[in-house]
Chains A and B, each alone.
Chain A
């Protein structure tokens, strides 16, 4: 069950928090909450991601000059957290947004989990940020009332950033009140009055990115941009196969390259690999190019180890074979076997989705400076405490001795939750006695990723005379994320199962979901929306196949499948699961389908002859999404996507502008997955290497227009960064079927004669 949130707010004005920002007299509050557990509770991943006590804190401070400082303790990677989170607090504080300054937090367990993944940020911190803002506002009001010697009820925080005396024209600015407010006791929660949604200034109102001007000016914001005095540069030749080791090394040509200083062997990991470096040989140089050039000159004989037998083409057949056999039961409703035994019309289909790489535009990069027992790391990381833990473990130091400065991330998508590259920098800095910047090339990034899992799925349904399913069986087989943290883990964790697999949001009386085993041969990790990608692809493609089998319009049929809507018993829980706060209400799913279809003029669009329209729905990270995709396919099989209509119910929305951006982007990310996304391996080594053989969507093949419709909701805020991806992929494939009559059961589309 989701923990009931407890929020405790402390006045820490005298305790020297955020030293260097505040001078004497500043007013600083700290808020702590006990929130819901992480998603992968039972998979072992959660424990590895964050073993620290889970007590998130957030700080707000008001300087005597009136500047309001809000600490961004989550990582900015295009998700908009440096804008959306502070605005929630600023709203309840009645602060002038133009006078709010966002400060990026270092890694520190005082903030609780900072792992910016799982579309957590707004949904987890909405209440605490509001309460912190309201607390600060009340303390400012009380400080003004005391100063003027008038009742508190006579003072209001209006207009923004000042407290006014209603009975006179007296006003005091927040800066003037800061040191007085710092002397106020923290009010009890019962004394606070949170604003009604009608009173919100910023929540629910669109706002551009806080950092947009700096970003467009090319300011040095990113991990790749970090420069430290005396810094050396490193490129690492990683073992081509997971678990490989250096047998012999000849670095004589490398050491002749201008600018190369030395080579350093990095120890292989001890299984399970977790977030440890892969090992290999580092080339240390005085600039990036020299390091890259020197690495090319290395002559290394590798012992590739047991994963050298891994060939993804054979592995695919194994997974498909497993998916045809009974697996471990995940969730059952009714008696599907009895229903199937009755005979009648049965539809079966198999689906397959390959490994994917994250390919964030900024490859992994980190700078580390080891000085005796102290380490400073600068890194674009989604997981700064993971950096602290892993660096400390690798160097035999205490976690508190590792400072992790979080830079902007040039994309993350889950890759930068794994701090292996920061550990590499720390190991090399310790060895050289100098600050070292480790830079992964694009080839490193593609070949040595934590891959999104490959998956084979089998689905079967029995249909009644009207074409409605009376029984439904689905089986999913994939090497699990848990294999990264536990050697030999072959079954999906509760988190992965809750991602669109334990249940389907349809009116099916007899249902069973299963999971078959699969051994991992590469590093497996989470990628934007994780297991939802392949699960939604299978379920939503299958729903479309059933519509065809029933000779029904696919949208009408989808609505019939969903039914009028009810709260699902969803079995095991996770971010896609259920709880008191987030019941799985299929009426909300139906609503987004209706909105998307209506906005896309579903009934008026004709499919066939190279034009097609497709729909899919999916709930993930508690957010309900419908995608309607329109395609044009020419005689050569070239796909164009003129229009995408997305409807989103993400509960209360903090910043609709950021929501639109995330869902526009998700359609492009989904296009990359569906059209060309495929990682394969031969002899254990990854076949792809750069954007020519791991192609991602470009402007000319991305959707031309993505319209995002936010369905108004009073439900608690839900996830935004990830949920746009899963339904897009099957909606696109369903549109391709409508246009061409060709069913896509295996991703990507390029495997099906399309481009």
Chain B
């Protein structure tokens, strides 16, 4: 039995210890904002925050979440009002939108450690998040907008 928090609420789990956090969030808790893209930490669609830092939930086994605080896209704001979400809306980043929760969580993590990221910082933080629609230049712009907002 592992004990941890998801979006501020205490949770326990005693199922298959190999289950990735991604499928626990999606199938057991019904928090479907966190997306499945590759299952190998290659695309970033499943990005959540672990104690405030971005991780790939698709390779994070439930046996390793004891004591952790997990935050998903559903809990970073009420109604999409986080500075990063507002910047995403302002720049009109999404096309299909499927990867965007992961992109947003990665950007939230980036800005928490580097409030004024350079282009190189953005490249290095976001290179793990694939967008097949190709919204990268808008993601870059939105991160800069959010950085300005929160400065």
Q: In the docked arrangement, what's the CA distance between A614 and B40, Å?
A: 36
Q: In the docked arrangement, what's the CA distance between A77 and B98, Å?
A: 9
B82 to chain A, nearest CB (A): 9
Query: A360-B132, A362-B98 are contacts. A442–B40 as well, Cβ < 8 Å?
Result: yes
B88 to chain A, nearest CB (A): 5
Contact of A411 with B100 in the complex, beta carbons under 8 Å: no
Residue numbers in B under 8 Å from A661 (CB-CB):
92, 95, 135, 138
B-contact bits for A354-395, CB 8 A (1 contact / 0 none): 000001111100000000000000000000000000000000
Contact of A220 with B98 in the complex, beta carbons under 8 Å: no
Number of interface residues of B (CB under 8 A): 60
B140 is an interface residue with CB less than 8 A from chain A:
yes
Q: In the docked arrangement, what's the CA distance between A208 and B35, Å?
A: 23
B128 to chain A, nearest CB (A): 8
A289 to chain B, nearest CB (A): 4
Contact of B85 with A216 in the complex, beta carbons under 8 Å: yes
B-contact bits for A201-220, CB 8 A (1 contact / 0 none): 00000001101111111111
Query: A218-B34, A692-B40 are contacts. A212–B94 as well, Cβ < 8 Å?
Result: yes
Contact of A78 with B23 in the complex, beta carbons under 8 Å: no
Q: In the docked arrangement, what's the CA distance between A706 and B140, Å?
A: 12
Q: In the docked arrangement, what's the CA distance between A283 and B129, Å?
A: 30
Residue numbers in A under 8 Å from B130 (CB-CB):
361, 691, 696, 698
Residue numbers in A under 8 Å from B88 (CB-CB):
212, 216
Number of interface residues of A (CB under 8 A): 70
B133 is an interface residue with CB less than 8 A from chain A:
yes
Query: A664-B135, A664-B138, A706-B137 are contacts. A411–B85 as well, Cβ < 8 Å?
Result: no
Residue numbers in A under 8 Å from B55 (CB-CB):
none
* One of B16, B98, B140 near A293 (C-beta < 8 A): B16
Query: A216-B80, A216-B85, A289-B16 are contacts. A410–B98 as well, Cβ < 8 Å?
Result: yes
Q: In the docked arrangement, what's the CA distance between A224 and B46, Å?
A: 13
Query: A362-B98, A691-B38 are contacts. A217–B80 as well, Cβ < 8 Å?
Result: yes
Contact of A289 with B40 in the complex, beta carbons under 8 Å: no
Contact of A363 with B96 in the complex, beta carbons under 8 Å: no
Residue numbers in A under 8 Å from B140 (CB-CB):
699
B144 to chain A, nearest CB (A): 13
Contact of B96 with A409 in the complex, beta carbons under 8 Å: yes
A557 is an interface residue with CB less than 8 A from chain B:
no
* One of B28, B32, B34, B36 near A439 (C-beta < 8 A): B36
Contact of B27 with A233 in the complex, beta carbons under 8 Å: yes
Contact of A224 with B16 in the complex, beta carbons under 8 Å: no
Query: A209-B92, A213-B80, A410-B98 are contacts. A691–B72 as well, Cβ < 8 Å?
Result: no
B-contact bits for A537-560, CB 8 A (1 contact / 0 none): 000000000000000000000000
Residues of A115-136 at the interface with B, using a CB-CB cut-off of 8 Å, are none
Contact of A698 with B92 in the complex, beta carbons under 8 Å: no
B132 to chain A, nearest CB (A): 5
Contact stretch, chosen from A451-459, A468-476, A666-674: A666-674
Query: A218-B73, A690-B40 are contacts. A361–B96 as well, Cβ < 8 Å?
Result: yes
B43 is an interface residue with CB less than 8 A from chain A:
yes
Residue numbers in B under 8 Å from A665 (CB-CB):
95, 133-135
Residues of A143-183 at the interface with B, using a CB-CB cut-off of 8 Å, are none
Contact of A657 with B92 in the complex, beta carbons under 8 Å: yes
A-contact bits for B102-130, CB 8 A (1 contact / 0 none): 00100000000000000000111011111
Q: In the docked arrangement, what's the CA distance between A241 and B94, Å?
A: 36
B67 is an interface residue with CB less than 8 A from chain A:
no
B-contact bits for A430-462, CB 8 A (1 contact / 0 none): 000000000101100000000000000000000
> Of residues B15, B92, B123, B140, which shows the largest number of chain A Cβ atoms within 10 Å of its Cβ?
B92
Residues of A283-330 at the interface with B, using a CB-CB cut-off of 8 Å, are 287-290, 292-293
Contact of A227 with B34 in the complex, beta carbons under 8 Å: no
Closest to A80 in B: B95
Query: A216-B88, A362-B98 are contacts. A78–B19 as well, Cβ < 8 Å?
Result: no
Contact of B99 with A216 in the complex, beta carbons under 8 Å: no
Residue numbers in A under 8 Å from B101 (CB-CB):
216, 218
Residue numbers in A under 8 Å from B66 (CB-CB):
none
Residue numbers in B under 8 Å from A219 (CB-CB):
33
B18 is an interface residue with CB less than 8 A from chain A:
yes
Closest to A226 in B: B32
Residue numbers in A under 8 Å from B137 (CB-CB):
664, 702-706
Contact of A259 with B16 in the complex, beta carbons under 8 Å: yes
A567 is an interface residue with CB less than 8 A from chain B:
no
Residue numbers in B under 8 Å from A289 (CB-CB):
16, 18-20, 23, 27
A360 to chain B, nearest CB (A): 6
B26 is an interface residue with CB less than 8 A from chain A:
yes
A731 to chain B, nearest CB (A): 16
A660 to chain B, nearest CB (A): 9
Residue numbers in B under 8 Å from A672 (CB-CB):
132
Contact of A217 with B33 in the complex, beta carbons under 8 Å: yes
Q: In the docked arrangement, what's the CA distance between A657 and B138, Å?
A: 12
A83 to chain B, nearest CB (A): 10
B97 to chain A, nearest CB (A): 3
B42 is an interface residue with CB less than 8 A from chain A:
yes
Contact of A359 with B89 in the complex, beta carbons under 8 Å: no
Residue numbers in B under 8 Å from A691 (CB-CB):
38, 40, 42-43, 130
Closest to B42 in A: A691
> Of residues A213, A217, A293, A412, which shows the largest number of chain B Cβ atoms within 10 Å of its Cβ?
A217
Contact of A410 with B97 in the complex, beta carbons under 8 Å: yes
Contact of A208 with B34 in the complex, beta carbons under 8 Å: no
Contact of B99 with A361 in the complex, beta carbons under 8 Å: yes
B49 is an interface residue with CB less than 8 A from chain A:
no
A221 is an interface residue with CB less than 8 A from chain B:
yes
Residue numbers in B under 8 Å from A259 (CB-CB):
15-16
A700 is an interface residue with CB less than 8 A from chain B:
yes
Residue numbers in A under 8 Å from B37 (CB-CB):
361-363, 442
A408 is an interface residue with CB less than 8 A from chain B:
yes
Residue numbers in B under 8 Å from A690 (CB-CB):
38-40, 42
Closest to A211 in B: B97
Residue numbers in B under 8 Å from A212 (CB-CB):
88-89, 92-94, 97
A697 is an interface residue with CB less than 8 A from chain B:
yes
A117 to chain B, nearest CB (A): 15
Residues of A242-273 at the interface with B, using a CB-CB cut-off of 8 Å, are 257-259
Contact of B96 with A410 in the complex, beta carbons under 8 Å: yes
B149 is an interface residue with CB less than 8 A from chain A:
no
Contact of A78 with B97 in the complex, beta carbons under 8 Å: yes
A222 is an interface residue with CB less than 8 A from chain B:
yes
Q: 13 A-B pairs, CB-CB below 8 angstroms?
A: A78-B94, A213-B79, A216-B104, A217-B80, A218-B34, A222-B32, A289-B19, A290-B19, A669-B133, A669-B134, A697-B134, A699-B127, A705-B137
| 3 A-B pairs with the lowest CB-CB distances in the bound complex, closest first | A218-B33, A668-B134, A410-B98
**Measuring CB to CB, which residues of chain A are less than 8 angstroms from any residue of chain B?**
76-80, 208-209, 211-222, 224-225, 227, 233, 257-259, 287-290, 292-293, 359-363, 408-413, 439, 441-442, 657, 661-662, 664-669, 671-672, 690-692, 696-700, 702-706
Q: 18 new A-B pairs (CB below 8 Å) besides A361-B98, A439-B36?
A: A78-B94, A78-B97, A78-B133, A211-B97, A213-B79, A215-B100, A216-B85, A216-B88, A216-B97, A218-B73, A227-B32, A287-B19, A409-B96, A664-B135, A668-B134, A698-B127, A699-B129, A704-B137
